[in-house]
Chain A
């Protein structure tokens, strides 16, 4: 059962990802990106990471992609003014580079042997919360500075100069 679901959602994620990078219109890419993000959230559920799956749907599909869609509609580039894509040779080289990377990772992943630890549930609210507010408290607090910097930076950049 788990294997069937893994293959199903893994295939949805990979197909959605391929569609994201191949569509001409950015809006179609954004919608396929949502599909991929939901499939990855389902994979998180499969690994008992319920909290992370919820955050994935809320933060990624709910906030990041909405921001993308908002900007796509805001700048609203007409169909005929979309960039002319790169030459076929460049694209083939890009696919080749990624293919080599994936093959290398596949070889490494086959050799990589993970030892089973004590607990399997690591992405639930309790485990993530406990780790976040004890061992990783400093990193968590610094995250707030990062978000503040991002907020101020985004406003300062996008503001119309008067």
Chain B
């Protein structure tokens, strides 16, 4: 029997690694993948909490998070393709049109 806190810790580690990917990388593709990692870490916490508390809401929330992740990936990658057509780069620091 594993303590619920082990799952929560694993979830926090996955989320933390995702945060590192978002703040420390410049490649937009890898930043988007890191966002997926963060969403996955959250899912681990939802499933573990739902299963330890015996509440089906945990599974339902994890399901919703997966749906949002799929939608986010689709729109994010479409934005990336549009940006690449316009600027020929996947470097996030090159995209500073709104910066002044």
Contact assessment for A123 and B50 in the assembled complex, using a CB-CB cutoff below 8 Å: yes
Determine if B12 and A109 form an interchain contact, defined as CB atoms under 8 angstroms apart.
Answer: yes
Query: Interface 1/0s, chain B 57-96, versus A by CB < 8 A?
Result: 1111011101111111111011111101100011111100
The complex places the Cα of A41 from the Cα of B78 at a distance, in Å, of 27
Known: A48-B51, A91-B24, A123-B47. Contact between A131 and B59, CB under 8 A?
Answer: yes
> How many residues of B are in contact with the other chain, CB < 8 A?
76
Q: Could you tell me which residues of chain A, from 39 to 88, have a CB within 8 Å of some CB in chain B? A: 40, 43-44, 47-49, 51-52, 55-56, 59-60, 63-64, 67-68, 71-72, 74-75, 77, 81-86
Q: How far is the CB of A12 from chain B (nearest CB, A)?
A: 11
**Per-residue interface assignment for chain A, residues 13 to 25, with 1 indicating a CB less than 8 Å from any chain B CB and 0 otherwise:** 1100110110100
If over half of A's interface residues share one DSSP class (helix, strand or loop), that class is named, otherwise mixed; here it is: helix
From DSSP, what is the main secondary structure of chain B's interface residues?
helix
A116 to chain B, nearest CB (A): 7
Q: Given A36-B37, A43-B44, A94-B23, A75 and B30 touching (CB < 8 A)?
A: no
CB contact between A101 and one of B2, B16, B33 (< 8 Å): that residue:
B16
**B contact set with A: CB distance below 8 Å:** 1-2, 4-21, 23-27, 29-30, 32-34, 36-37, 40, 43-44, 47-60, 62-64, 66-75, 77-82, 84-85, 89-94
